[in-house]
Amino acid sequence: MNNDEPRACSTIAYLLGTSVLRICGWKLAGGPPKANNMVIIAAPHTSNWDFILLISAAYSFRISINWLGKNTLFWRPLGYLLRFLGGIAVDRSTSNNMVQVLAAEIEHGEGINLVVPPAGTRSKTEYWKSGFYRIAEAAQIPIVCGYLDYEKKEAGLGPSFLPTDVNVDMNRLREFYGPITAKFPENKSRILLREESEVS
């Protein structure tokens, strides 16, 4: 983990983010690590409100974020707004290796705080997608535990760590996210990678 600061958002974005959280009655907890590249987990993800609160929290931490979205969402003029908000268009119909592409962009870019919801959907899933882990592993950047706890009305950035051993790291994530309350708890996905299930 390096000693650089995360890429900062604008003052306008900061004021917007803090205003949204204040109006909604949410508080901040924790903070980003001293690194100019990171993968931020967005979990649990069960509601459309998660996106609004997540961006507001990131701006309140004074960091600028990036996130992945289907390229079909980036039509004009909406595409301009989505890119302004940090969106990166992804063509899921092709076989391009997104992990390597993003890892290379992180290595040669000016700093990226990539937010990834590992469940990949608001519905309950049996497995998390492993992309967040593989990107951090390939680029050797920290994984940050971003979360929204609806019971506490708390938006936070928890522990961060460099990926080392997938089983050890996933156990850490299960321990951290286990007590956190989603907006719709019945839709909270199981914190397990398919690779773990296949090995066990």
The 10s digit of each residue's pLDDT in 117-147 is 999 889 999 999 998 998 899 888 999 999 9
Does 163 or 109 have the greater pLDDT score?
A: 163
| Per-residue pLDDT, 2 | 45
136 phi/psi in degrees, rounded to 5: -65, -35
Residue 182 reports pLDDT greater than 90:
yes
**By three-state DSSP, how is residue 9 classified?**
coil
Residue 199 reports pLDDT greater than 60:
no
Instruction: Look at residue 164 and tell me if it is in a domain.
Output: no
Instruction: Look at residue 5 and tell me if it is in a domain.
Output: no
| Per-residue pLDDT, 74 | 80
Mean pLDDT of the chain: 86
| Per-residue pLDDT, 94 | 57
Domain extent, residue 73, equals 11-26+36-117+129-152+169-199
**Mean per-residue pLDDT, 159-167:** 93
Instruction: Look at residue 123 and tell me if it is in a domain.
Output: no
Instruction: Look at residue 163 and tell me if it is in a domain.
Output: no
**Mean per-residue pLDDT, 17-36:** 93
Q: Half-sphere exposure (CA, 13 Å, Cβ side) for 22?
A: 8
How many independent structural domains does the chain possess? Answer: 1
Range of lowest pLDDT (51-60, 86-95, 169-178): 86-95
| Per-residue pLDDT, 196 | 83
Instruction: Look at residue 124 and tell me if it is in a domain.
Output: no
**Mean per-residue pLDDT, 88-114:** 72
- Whole-prediction pTM value? 0.86
Instruction: Look at residue 182 and tell me if it is in a domain.
Output: yes
Pairing of strands 37-43, 112-116: parallel
| Per-residue pLDDT, 93 | 60
Instruction: Look at residue 122 and tell me if it is in a domain.
Output: no
Residue 1 reports pLDDT greater than 50:
no
| Per-residue pLDDT, 169 | 95
Tell me the two tokens of residue 76: 């004009």
Q: How confident is the model at residue 172 (pLDDT cuts 50, 70, 90)?
A: very high
Pairing of strands 87-90, 112-116: unpaired
Instruction: Look at residue 104 and tell me if it is in a domain.
Output: yes
**Mean per-residue pLDDT, 27-48:** 92
Q: What DSSP designation does 26 have?
A: -
